[in-house]
Structure 1
Amino acid sequence: MWVYVSEPFNGVRVAKAIIQEVGGLSPDNYTELETLLKSICNLIKGKKFFLVLDDVWTEDYTIWEPFKLALQYGAQGSRILVTTRKERVAEIMGSAYRINLEALSDGDCWLIFSKIAFLEKSLQQCKQLEDLGREIAKKCKGLPLAAKTLGSLMRFKKSKEQWKNVLDSSLWKLEDVEKGLFAPLLLSYYELPFTMKRCFSYCAIFPKDYVIYTNDLVKLWMAQGYLNSEENMYMELEIIGEEYFENLAMRSFFQDFEKDEHDDMIRSCKMHDIVHDFAQLIMKNECFSIEVNGDKEFGIDSFHKSTRHLSIAPRGETQFPVAVYTAKNLRTLLPLKTSFSNINHVLPDLLQRLTCLRALNLSCSSIEKLPDEVEKLIHLRFIDLSYNSKLKVLPESICNLCNLQTLNISRCHGIEKLPQGMSKLIKLRHLVLHGINFTKPFPMGIGKLSSLRTLEQFVVSGRGDIGGCKLEELKLLNYLQGALVIKGLGNVIDVVEAENAHLKEKIHLCRVRLNFDGTSEESRRMENNVLILNVLEPHPNLEHLQIYWYEGSTMFPNWIMSLTKLKKLEIIDCKKLDSIPPLGKLPCLESLEIRNADSVKKVGVEFLGIEFKDKKYKGLSASLILFPNLKSLIFWNMKEWEEWGGIGGLKEEDCFTIMPCLLYLEIVGCPKLKALPHFFHTTPLKELCIRESPILKEDCQKRDNGPKIIHIPRIYNIHLNLEEEDH
């Protein structure tokens, strides 16, 4: 178990962290320390454990006594390792054995420094700079963070003169212990351009060990006006922010990176404690992070009326600190994952007083209503209302925030519709709606928000909807990026309306989902769906396409083969579809999933994308590769599917290579399917899963057919009854 403690000490948080590390149930609902400690006793009783309590600062023995008693229930041989920067902590913990970490040797500092500083430098450059580098490494005084920071700084300096300037810098002469520790960071900080300095120092607003989400960080920088630069006037603000973050990360101002599974970009990070202290030193009276526990407000003593940026972290159930009212010049207010008991009561007054706010985070705050007073925040550019399940409606007054750039209401499950005046938010760039299932169409005029980069979903109105938006309102939203779900396509009757959506011009969209739900007449639904799908052509750069509830019997839009970058395709709940579209020649397709296509009876050569002219490949030296990059193939609940054919009349391996990269095949709920096609014995399958498909399962278990799948390492729900010599 590894638990980060830090300061100020929070017993409830530490106890919850221990429980989660053991693997116990999420203790989020418990706020009493005694209850949590009893849970720890039960979880570790009779078990040998190794617990690391990392970065302990508190010297109060009475705080540790309940933990010590609870942890004694572990089996003999259990050990607790405490890391601390204070000798007194080791004494009050009653340590049986102490390891005093000395400073690194100059040689070890050099190893860390040189590995980073000489990255991407030639052998000749390394030789020329080595002597200066060893002298700079000595300046680290054995501190690994200093070696890492200085290495990151020197990585971008190529000449001996630049290296000598760093070595001779007056910053090394600072006698103050704290500043002496910060000297390497100061050197790196002073090298930054002014705009980047502001972005770094702003991060002092977050508490220590806080998980910083890079998307939100860039939006907060943008809200403060830190990303407006004349030299980058033609570049997207979000891209400028991403570049600033990458530059700061390369200089070791951030660490503990987590990457996004979709695009491999950095999703989140943290700041080292010393780097955080350094940022707070720079910000002085401008930036504060305070903790509130009942009547105690940690950090409130140093809180100034001139404070510009403030985060508030509660401990357990507590009230919002009214002292915040005095900070009338606040630009940022971030109550972090708060649930203040009086938040609904104080919110109207708070919004009336703090009229200079540029960024406001009310995420997870249990607010039941956003007061009309929100319109007083005329400078507001960023508001996060996410994860407020009790919030049912957004007030029309929010549409008067003409400077608003980011509105996040994701996971506010109670919200069913957007305010009618949304078209007034002309500077809105990010409307974050993740996890909301809108039951009402979007209001008319959404198409006027031509600055939108994030929309995530777009709900088309039906014939009886008054004041709802039409599909063609997507026309001018060409800056949209990331993912977009279009709902209510079953309501669209006019093909021209779909053409006017100009989906192909949304060149930054990576993922699109087309939902053909709606309330139009059943008799016209099938014909309309086919026509609408044919004109909703996405840009060729699209990587992920989902099609839901399509009512057509065929699905062969004239643009399907233009999706040369498509990696993932899902066809879900298309119950009238009687043939699978030809997909075999899509060059980048890696994952294909088809579910609930109840009318499909046969999957044949057309699925592979083979045309009559392709059969002339027979006799040629080169074969045609079908599904060249497909790795995962899933079929679910295809009740009428009986036959899965290969390439009739030809020896497949002589003329075609089929699915040469396929690793995973899953077939579930296909009770009439008789057999797998012949070509599967040549695929490099690693996993095969067949469930609720008795005929197919029986066929695979036959002695004659077993060898076709015996090469697959992991086979689920199939028992091969073969003789010993056949294995």
Structure 2
Amino acid sequence: MAESFVFDVADSLLGKLASYAYEEASRAYGVYEDLQEFKDTLSIVRGLLLDAEEKKNQQHAVRDWLRQIQSICSDAEDVLDGFELQDKRKQVVEASGSTSMKVRHFFSSSNPLAFRFKMAQQIKDIRERLDKVASNGTKFGLTTINVSPGLVVQRREMTYPDVDASSIIGRESDREEIIKLLMQPHPQGDGVGDKSMCVIPIVGIGGLGKTTLAKLVFNDKRVDFHLKMWVCVSNAFDIKQIIINIINSISASAPTLTFSHQENINNLDMVQLVSRLRSKLSGQKFLLVLDDMWMDDRAKWIELKDLIKVGAPGSKVMVTTRSNSIASLMGTIPSYVLHGLSMDNSLALFVKSAFKEGEEEKFPNLVEIAKEIVKKCLGVPLAVKTLGSSLYSKFDLTKWEFVRDSEIWNLEQKQDDILPALKLSYDQMPSYLRHCFAYFSLYPKGYSFGVNSMLKIWIALGLVESRNGSENLENIAREYIDEFHSRSFLLDYTDQGQLFSFKLHDLVHDLALYVAKYECVLVQSHTRNIPNQVRHVSIVEKDSLDHALILKSKQVRTILFPIRGMGLDSASLLETWVSRYKFLRILDLSDSSIDIIPDSIAKLEHLRTLDLSNNSKIKRLPNSICRLQNLQVLLLSGCMELKTLPKGLGNLVSLRKLSITTKQYVLSQNEFASFNYLQTLDFYCCENLKILFDGAHQLTFLETLIVQSCGSLESLPLYCFPKLQTLYLRDCKMLDMSLNNENPIQKLKMKHLYLTEFPRLLTLPRWIVGAADTLETLLIDDIPNLKMLPECLTTMTHLKMLGIRLCTQLLTLPIDIHSLTALEELLIYGCHELGIKCQPQIGEYWSMIAHIKHISIDNHFEGFHYLQDKVYNMMRLEWKRNMLLEGRQEMNCLMQMEKKNVNMKL
């Protein structure tokens, strides 16, 4: 198997070295020649990496060579990071206008002369290390494998249509459903004879049995077509080769036709091939199976479809793919999403793979262990067969327990086992996705990922780059999440625009562990032998903190505490980390119970994310934090004892996200005026804060503003945020909701608005009119005295989601709500009278809202816990909002709700 993680690290580094910014910086600091020599050598090494990965299992020395290359590339990234930091320091010094600061800068190690000398020496050392290691590569007989940038592909073996139906377990109902689709007229046809060709996509994760199901259907005698053709498209989508394969498939499957033998057509040109194809398909009712489709180029698909649309009415195409987007692109009917086997079928398949027929009856103790083993397979047949076959005719109890207790990636894998099958999906991804994928391994199995779980890691590690220099990095990273979902890697995926959540398939998690096993470590109490070269550490059990001290590598970039409620409680351990791991990009100390952050934290000059949220003991922060010019994310939300923000906050010129809990009464506008890139600003439980700023400077990049539980806040200057897209307001008792109630009403660019817990509010604020042309999400929650929705609601032509909860006095909807043609989701909870009027079929409003795709109405709350379950499981928006705060306050919200006396007229 081609393991491409090292390749992707090298590829990413080469991309940075080739950029205009790095070229200019290297010339400015006199290290251009050294960097060019390093880049030239790395380009040569890149060509050897894939061959080295293929040979690493045969030669231990090759594995060591790969690790050395990866280490050098990562160290080079650390060195190059210095260019960006130096530029930011220069910005801060010049912007300050302070003579004393300029003098300090001149006599520091950051002055241009000292920096130039230091960089030249570091780059020279890196280049010499790479030259030495690269020369060793020739000793292993490695050859150069040329591959296009961003693509490393290991192809699956070509498939064929033959199958022994008696050996297949648990796919009977799936077969029947697909046959129904094949036999019925095209749903988009005219009811007499379909004029267009029906394309049926079967989609699911690798190893789920899509090809096997297609084979079962293809060979079923009830599937009656004049021609049946099977073409595996797992190699590159070459239309000429596909046409050749279709013609050959026709010749092989239709001996009764006039084609007496399989023709030698490989030498025909494209015009001749197209003519031959159309003559063979013309007027024939055919079934074409395109197995293992990876191509997502719509133009190529349309080109092929137009060539084969010469068959008789009723012709069908069946496509198997792992990608939802490809299924959507090709399918003319909704995709048939293949699910896992039931536990009973999984166990039957496992027993069939592990025992000779009837042999399992002699080993009931092993069958009991088998039941536990198949649970980890989540119904994926190939995983079941992989683990079952690995135990075939082995009756040693310890071997069965080893398989039960091991991660799949720790087990020996043959070419046709589950890990290689999933690895194929990984290899097919573009380089930027492969590089990001490894970091899923930093979270435990079953983890529920929120908005920022992965985005903050990818961005902090420099894995997300703006394509034009101005794009929002979070938006780009969000596109990555969508791509992973499209490739069937994610489970329980819920999407509410900016807010989303998902889980990772357990087998996909195993693959992430495999890909990043020397780079990322999930530290638990039983974790031992942490690799020396580890750079990313995630601590998931308190008992494991002692083991985190034994990390030998000083190149650690990430320290995470991903489990809610578990953080660091040792100030001395923090000091050790700060002094030892100077290349940290991410330091997650959320939910910790330390009262002092050391001044030495300023030495973490590469730090991008510092998460101190939900620390109940911190009263002050060292001003030295403000010397972290690379810092992009600073999270102080939930630090209930924090008296003031550190002085010099405005020096954090890279800051993109800031969350605040403070006892301050007012914030200095001068500090915030320097935040030219701030995109997300969050205020939580700032009880003394009356006004946000003492000035009128605009935050021109701010897109998300969150203000909750700020009981003294009186006003909110929306005019300071001209590009605001998301506004979340909750439980601010003194807030004047008229905000900027001037005439004419200010035009807003807002897309998502959440208003919750405003018991005194009688009507929604007039300024909402200013967002009527752009609003996509509107959540109105716990506003019990609200009696009417705003008139402008029905002019919101972009509104996709409307949520109303606990607005007990709201009795009506606008009579022209049917004009909201973009509305896709309507949720109404705890609004008894309104809920009755919206009941399906019988409610008086039903005819006005029946066009909406997803409608959820619930009035029958029987006590608090039922309400809590409904709110948590169905009305997800409020809780998903909390993911904007790293998901840390979700439990706090639930605890606060439990303390309330919920009285509702039902």
Amino acid at match of 1:222: I
Matches within 5 A, 1:667-686: none
SS in 2 for 1:502: helix
Matches within 5 A, 1:142-161: 154=294, 156=296
SS in 1 for 2:584: coil
CA distance in 1, matches of 2:320, 2:845: 61
Match of 1:187 in 2: 424
SS in 2 for 1:506: coil
Q: Is 1:401 the equivalent of 2:634?
A: no
Matches within 5 A, 1:351-390: 351-390=578-617
Structure 2: gaps spanning 5 or more residues: 1-165, 189-195, 217-231, 235-289, 306-317, 323-385, 391-411, 797-801, 821-825, 847-856, 862-902
CA distance in 2, matches of 1:128, 1:514: 47
- Compute the displacement of 1:280 (Å): 2.6
Match of 2:754 in 1: 544
Q: Is 1:480 the equivalent of 2:714?
A: no
264, 267, 274: which one pairs with 2:501? 267
Match of 1:68 in 2: none
User: Is contact 1:512-1:544 (8 Å) kept?
Assistant: yes
Matches within 5 A, 1:117-516: 123=197, 137=211, 154=294, 156=296, 177-178=413-414, 180-181=416-417, 182-228=419-465, 230=467, 233-257=469-493, 259=494, 263=497, 265-272=499-506, 274-292=507-525, 297-298=526-527, 300-301=528-529, 303-314=530-541, 316=543, 319=546, 321-324=548-551, 326-337=552-563, 343-433=570-660, 436=661, 438-444=663-669, 445-457=671-683, 469-470=693-694, 472-473=696-697, 475-481=698-704, 483-484=706-707, 502=719, 505-512=722-729, 515=732
- Compute the displacement of 1:399 (Å): 1.5
User: Is contact 2:171-2:213 (8 Å) kept?
Assistant: no
User: Is contact 1:255-1:270 (8 Å) kept?
Assistant: yes
Amino acid at match of 2:490: F
- Compute the displacement of 1:379 (Å): 0.5
User: Is contact 1:584-1:626 (8 Å) kept?
Assistant: no
Q: RMSD of aligned C-alpha atoms?
A: 5.9
CA distance in 2, matches of 1:219, 1:364: 17
CA distance in 2, matches of 1:388, 1:212: 22
User: Is contact 1:405-1:429 (8 Å) kept?
Assistant: yes
Q: Which has the higher helix share?
A: 2
- Compute the displacement of 1:430 (Å): 1.5
Query: How many equivalent pairs are there?
Result: 480
- Compute the displacement of 1:385 (Å): 1.9
Could you state the TM-score of these two structures normalised by the residue count of structure 1?
A: 0.52
Change (3 A) 1:540 1:228: closer
Amino acid at match of 1:350: W
User: Is contact 2:630-2:654 (8 Å) kept?
Assistant: yes
- Compute the displacement of 1:529 (Å): 9.0
Change (3 A) 1:194 1:188: same
Change (3 A) 1:317 1:166: closer
CA distance in 2, matches of 1:503, 1:264: 22
Change (3 A) 1:558 1:517: closer
Structure 1: gaps spanning 5 or more residues: 1-101, 168-173, 493-497, 519-527, 596-602, 611-622, 636-657, 665-680, 690-714, 719-727
Match of 1:10 in 2: none
Change (3 A) 1:593 1:382: same
User: Is contact 1:227-1:240 (8 Å) kept?
Assistant: yes
User: Is contact 2:293-2:321 (8 Å) kept?
Assistant: no
Match of 1:619 in 2: none
Change (3 A) 1:464 1:358: closer
Amino acid at match of 1:344: A
Change (3 A) 1:472 1:105: same
SS in 2 for 1:267: strand
SS in 2 for 1:323: coil
Listed one character per residue, the Cα deviations across residues 502-546 of structure 1 (whole Å, up to 9, x for unaligned) are: 15723412434695749xxxxxxxxx9978544785726453346
Residue identity over aligned pairs, in percent, reads: 23
User: Is contact 1:430-1:453 (8 Å) kept?
Assistant: yes
CA distance in 1, matches of 2:199, 2:705: 42
Larger relative contact order (CA 8 Å, sep ≥ 6): 2
Amino acid at match of 2:478: E
Match of 1:89 in 2: none
Match of 2:78 in 1: none
SS in 1 for 2:453: helix
Q: Which has the higher strand share?
A: 1
Listed one character per residue, the Cα deviations across residues 169-212 of structure 1 (whole Å, up to 9, x for unaligned) are: xxxxx996255422222222121111111001222233333333
- Compute the displacement of 1:282 (Å): 2.2
CA distance in 2, matches of 1:411, 1:286: 32
Amino acid at match of 2:753: E
User: Is contact 2:740-2:767 (8 Å) kept?
Assistant: no
Change (3 A) 1:455 1:221: same
CA distance in 2, matches of 1:340, 1:487: 26
CA distance in 2, matches of 1:128, 1:625: 37
Change (3 A) 1:580 1:205: closer
CA distance in 1, matches of 2:575, 2:534: 21
Amino acid at match of 2:706: A
Listed one character per residue, the Cα deviations across residues 9-40 of structure 1 (whole Å, up to 9, x for unaligned) are: xxxxxxxxxxxxxxxxxxxxxxxxxxxxxxxx
Match of 1:19 in 2: none
Amino acid at match of 1:447: A
- Compute the displacement of 1:340 (Å): 7.3
Change (3 A) 1:214 1:327: farther
Match of 1:642 in 2: none
SS in 2 for 1:360: strand
